[in-house]
Structure 1
Amino acid sequence: MSVENHVDHWGTSPRDPVATALAGMETALGELLAMDPAYWRTSQKKDVLARLETLKAQQAALELRVLATAGDIAEETGDKDASAWMRAELLVDKGAARAQMKLATSVSTHELLAAGLADGVVTRDKARVITNALNAIEANPVASNEVLLLAEKLLVGYATRLTANELRIVGKRILTEIDPVRFEDAEAKALLAEEERAQQKTALRVWDNHDGTVGDNHDGTVGFDGVLPVALGMRFKTHVEAWAQPRKQQFVEKGTPLPPWERLMGQGFARLLETIDPDALPRHGGDPTTINVVISLDELRKELGTAVLGYDETNGTTISATEARKMACNATIIPWVLGADGQVLDAGRSSRFFQPIQRKALRLQQKCCQADGCDMPPEWCDAHHLTPWSLGGKTDLKDGVLLCPHHHRLAHAPGFTHERLPDGTIRFTRRP
């Protein structure tokens, strides 16, 4: 029976089935919202959550059906399309509204998918994954209509037991599942093309946040973002997590509150950079990749001196002499000591960080961070020069001590002094 048979076009009929059904839904939802789930039985909560998932899928099915036939709304309001009306009247973001319209159009052309939504077995997210997979098959000149229909049937079936992300992976390989002999080569070519596109999208941006407080060049932080191919991106994530996880474990074992995971990941990334072997870096102009630190003799002698990363203050970044001394423990650095007139007094010596075999020996000897009371595992510690490199310290086992990143910073911080105790541990004391 059509809706028109019940509608009073003056808008006063109580027999409008659409309005009556919506009112019933609103009433039932209002009754549930008036209850406090804290007093529900566990079985009731599970039942509610499961049935709401089904209802959300059916609600999406209804919404997409209406949107697929909503061209008359734009005609009546003068909007470009229904998505523009959604933006103006429903305050839906333009991108989200257009995505909804696109999904509605796609679902309307796939009967099995539309039925899955209406039955509540295919969610909106899964419907979007399936339509993307089917659109790719439609664009494949080798795939026939029969193949498209079979792929739709299989994907709707998979949607009942897979998450949206799992379904996305299956969707990329569905043609191979249908006919391995026929589509395997095509899939391999498509995968290569996808990887090539990912390579073309690879990008990295780095910028100075200018949030420092000392001078124009002494900036606090650097921001960056980028895009990597999936395989490389997952390797990057794994490497950073390998450095972040031990820090998290330290907090857990000590029973102290955990910092935000993003901060741990940022600190893990910093540790990854600090431990890169210079020998593994590319060569520039015939020389190993190095960090040039320019510092005057007077600044070198100061407890609170400054230095420049680079070759001059115009093109470099100002850092503290303390930070320069800390970097000397972990990177290849060449100091350029200048006199009052800018003349090079000393081109210094390249100070390499401790070699892998030396680090292994230190781990065997010292077992953990040597700061008094710290038990950070040796794998996550820096090899620190007991006699500062700037004062002639050498990179050898007698002059090496393992310190975790926190205590390594304290060892170079002007606000702290440290001494070696008889048992070999290092005690830090804040200066008066």
Structure 2
Amino acid sequence: MAKDSRRSTHVVSRAVAKSHTRLDRAHESHLWSMSNDDVAATLIEAARLRARVEALELRLAAEADRRHAGERVGATDTASWWAVETRQTRPAAKHRMRLAESLDRHDLTAAVLAEGDVSVEHARVITECLDRLPADLDDPTIPLRAEQHLLAEAQHRDPKSLRVLAKHVLTVVAPEIGEARDARALEAEERLARETAWLTMSPDGRGSVVGKFKIPELYGAMLKKTLLAFAAPKHQTAENGAETYERRPASERMGDAFCELLERLPTASVPKLGGLNATVVVTMDIASLMGGLAPGVLGDGSTISAATARRLACEAGLVPAVLGTRSELLDLGRTTRLFTGAQRRALNLTQPTCTAEGCDWPAHLCHAHHDQPWSAGGATDLTNARNLCPRHHARIHDPAYETTHLPGGKVAFHRRT
């Protein structure tokens, strides 16, 4: 393609050919000889140059489409031919072709892009906004005013923040009609987002469940804010201990946070399913609940470790169905195993912090634990209750640790050897 452009006499073709020659020399040059100021300034100018080159490429794409370049060689359309010739994906080429067609209709944005004063991403946001403007506007100057306003804002905004502004551009440039139209458009967008929300989940066969979802922005923001609170280093250090907390990729920390959120959901406020609160039932024998290793079985046949079952059996959301030595049902967990709000308040007065030795985690953030397990006949009363922070609550159910009751009501943990 470069050779063809060198043979052409058209000014555009010659400009592209000369650019190749000059860039060849630039790529062969050593950057170490540039000053710090030159490197910084040239980097910024290279970004402007990229925008200008892309503007020219999009102009050529629109012209090639007008001339049916793809059809002349048997391609489905020009975008498909362009994708093959330049090794783009077809979706990417079609996406860029739509932008090229839109820029063809919006001369001002095309001109500013050609000067390198905005990026292709800025131009895409602006043209998509202009293409969405209502066709029945009484004032024919509104689209131009909207374009001018967005181009001005693009000088000091990134494309993401410009997109947020573009959604309400009518309110800015034509407040007499824009506020009502934007309100209706926002209501329709929210309604559609709620109606089209979806979620899928499927087991991967290796102990995990893989899922995807699409939810309205409001609920996405709520979920993200909640998960960030659980994933925060301060919270993770308090939960797991400073000696075990380590920084991990954000996606993994958010995954852990999602699991913790689900563990803490108050089942009493969840809608009933089949007449019962939406709780998960785990079936296990009495020996495992008392400290054995045999796993618990969930209602769908999947299994969880005995240690995890023992820990969750102290909290809402999971009910232990305990089987005796002959697999007869000994007890089915009831919500009465949980301490009441009044009991928790009384317990917090007598145990203002976690009762693990050396831990000062405040009582209002602790879990109420049965010293004698409720499943083994332990009563849900204050004489059988102790406050444990989430970290030590997990540890008291961990078979790797032995629990020692100390004088004064504290407990200590020692790793089993």
Query: What's the TM-score bracket when you normalise by the shorter of the two chains?
Result: 0.7 to 0.9
TM-aligned CA distance change 1:344 to 1:24, over 3 Å:
same
Amino acid at match of 1:26: L
- Residues 1:259 and 2:260 aligned together: no
2-side partners of 1:254 and 1:415: how far apart? Answer: 17
- Quote how far apart the aligned CAs of 1:408 are: 3.4
What is aligned with 2:225? 238
Of 19, 24, 42, the residue aligned with 1:22 is 19
Identify which of 271, 295, 313 aligns with 1:282: 271
| Change in 2 beyond 3 A, CA 1:402/1:10 | closer
Is 1:129 matched up with 2:125?
Answer: yes
CA distance, structure 2, for counterparts of residue 85 and residue 131 of structure 1: 24
Structure 2 counterpart of 1:150, which letter?
R
Q: Distance in 2 between matches of 1:345 and 1:268?
A: 34
Q: What does residue 116 of structure 1 align with?
A: 112
Shift of 1:177: 1.4
**What is the 5 A alignment of 1:184-263?**
184-211=179-206, 220-245=207-232, 246-247=234-235, 257-263=246-252
Name the SS for the 2:335 alignment partner. coil
Distance 2:184 2:208 in 1: 43
1:108/1:237 Cα in 2 relative to 1: closer, same or farther (>3 Å)? Answer: same
Does the 8 A contact of 1:330 with 1:352 survive in 2? no
Question: Which runs of no fewer than 5 residues in structure 2 stay unpaired?
Answer: none
Change (3 A) 1:395 1:252: closer
Indicate which of 80, 91, 95 corresponds to 2:91. Answer: 95
What is the TM-score when the length of structure 1 is the normalising length? 0.81
Report which stretch shifted further, 121-130 or 80-89: 80-89
**1:331 CA displacement:** 1.1
Deviation sequence 1:25-64 (CA, Å, 0-9, x none): 41354156x3149x742x3443233222322221221111
The 3-state SS of whatever aligns with 1:70 is helix
1:268 aligns with 2:257: yes
Asked if the contact 2:125–2:159 (Cα under 8 Å) also holds between the matched residues in 1, the reply is yes
The separation in 2 between residues aligned to 1:154 and 1:106, in whole angstroms, is 18
1:271 to partner: Cα distance: 1.7
CA distance in 2 between partners of 1:114 and 1:335 (Å):
66
**Matched residue type, 2:208:** T
Is 1:64–2:53 an aligned residue pair? no
SS in 2 for 1:189: helix
1:261 deviation in Å? Answer: 1.7
Q: Secondary structure at the match of 1:120?
A: coil
Tell me the distance in 1 between the aligned counterparts of 2:321 and 2:10.
89
**1:410 counterpart (390, 395, 399):** 395
Query: 1:305 is paired with a residue of what secondary structure?
Result: coil
Equivalent in the alignment of 1:47: 41
Shift of 1:395: 4.2
Task: Report what 2:307 is aligned to.
Answer: 322
- Stretches of structure 1 lacking an aligned partner (at least 5 in a row): 1-6, 212-219
How many corresponding residue pairs?
A: 409
What is the Cα deviation at residue 8 of structure 1? Answer: 9.7
CA change 1:105–1:384 in 2 (3 A) is same
2:176 counterpart (176, 181, 200): 181
Aligned partner of 2:48: which letter? T
Superposition RMSD in Å: 3.5
Cα-to-partner distance string for 1:306-338 (whole Å, 9 max, x where unaligned): 33323xxxx443333332221122215544344
Aligned counterparts of 2:268 and 2:241: Cα–Cα separation in 1 = 36
Q: What is the TM-score with the length of structure 2 in the denominator?
A: 0.84
